[in-house]
Amino acid sequence: MEKYLWLALLVTITTIRAQPTADILRYFQDPEPNITLRPKITTADRIASHGYPAETHKVVTEDGYIVTLFRIPYSHKLQNQNAYRPIVLIQHGLFSCSDAWMGVGPNDGIGFNLADAGYDVWFGNARGTTYGRNHTSRSTNHPYFWRFSWHEIGHYDIAAMIDYALATNGQGQKAIHYVGHSQGTTVFFALMSSRPEYNEKIKTAHMLAPVAFMSNMSDKLVRTLAPYLGHHNTYSAFFDCQEFIPHNDLFSKLLYNACAPHSKLNSLCSSIAYMVEGPESNVNMTALPIMVESHPAGASTNQICHYMQEQQSGRFCLYDHGPKRNMEMYGQITPPDYPLELISSQVHLWYSDNDDMAAVVDVERLAEKLPNRVMHHMEDPTWAHGDFAMHIEVKKFVSDPIVEIMNNYEKEMQL
């Protein structure tokens, strides 16, 4: 998702240049009274715009963070609100949020496909994102709000989402299906290995571009920064416990208005996105303006540092706070490895050759440690990291197979 950071900035600059100088100056001099831009819409608005019922739920985690879940409780096409509807939780990647699953639309989006297959669909949002900027006692202006990595997202946020969805569904279900992309897979591994009792609450888990071991990943930005930020040193100490790219209402509104479907600049957003992705891309280009208008969605710098530590150490382990604090927290100088062998739930690993974040050899190393895994190697040699969410044929190669696996599981449970 890091390329969308630069893409979003470029679109914003272009939008500003398209406005008279006097108009732009008045925004910065006195922004609140003068902003006339249309407010951003939420994931629930995007769901409802396609005719599906949409719900918004606020969930409080054990450590006080308030995260937002969006729900498609049933399909308006099936009118199955009174039928048994198995629960599915779908979790986004780093710098992303639930809006990412809306990009390819109702025909190809996995959430819509699952709803039309009879499932109760929930879209998760991690703390620190657009939909996770609240806490029972902390302000986002306080550094302690941002003192978390993806470990806490898994250990607390995903656990709270699972429990909330099970309780709210009202059909006495004891377990859910799970779909995660990129960081959405990392947090699953963190939760299921650190709190193995949650494996009993998982029917099938689908890891799209699974990220755990990172020694062989080829992403240039990570490999450049990891030697500096992947160790407990002055660089990482200066970088940690902060919001990565602080949220700015004006910036967000400019992006949304520039790339909204009816905007005069929408075609420009698509053109810039095309230049960033390149002509060889598999991405559904109609999805890119939604990505630009809603991303980056927010994160803690500790999430980035944690990934950098994984890349440098070659391990899948808890956050390295330095020898002194590690002793206090873990009882040892170095952070312990996640006990992946404790993940007993059925885990499907979806991976590809052209993924710069999840190298095949790293995924295979991960698979060796999972006792109940199923491998799904993408045959297309050009299939990239983001394609699992935004490929032009994502329904054919990802959504439909996942729906079939879930359906088969449900049928077997009924026998």
Look up the pTM and report it: 0.87
pLDDT string in tens for the chain (415-residue length)? 445 444 444 444 444 444 444 444 454 555 554 545 667 789 999 999 999 999 999 999 999 999 999 999 999 999 999 999 999 999 999 999 999 999 999 999 999 999 999 999 999 999 999 999 999 999 999 889 999 999 999 999 999 999 999 999 999 999 999 999 999 999 999 999 999 999 999 999 999 999 999 999 988 888 888 888 888 877 677 677 788 875 556 555 666 566 666 666 655 555 544 444 444 468 887 787 777 777 888 999 999 999 999 999 999 999 999 999 999 999 999 999 999 999 999 999 999 999 999 999 999 999 999 999 999 999 999 999 999 999 999 999 999 999 999 999 999 988 7
Q: Which residues are CB-contacts of 49 (< 8 A; sequence separation ≥ 6)?
A: 41
318, 344 contact by CB (below 8 A):
no
Could you give the residue numbers annotated as active site?
182, 355, 385
Reading phi first (left if > 0) and then psi (alpha if -120 to 50, else beta), residue 361 is in alpha
173, 124 contact by CB (below 8 A):
no
Give, to the nearest 10 degrees, the angle between helix 301-313 and helix 220-229: 90
Asked if omega into 296 is within 30° of 0 (cis), the reply is yes
Q: Name the DSSP class of 286.
A: G
SS3 state at 53? coil
Q: How far apart are CA 65 and CA 126, in angstroms?
A: 10
CB-hemisphere CA count at 13 Å for 371? 10
- What H or E segment, with its residue span, contains residue 205? strand 202-208
Strands 176-181 and 202-208: parallel
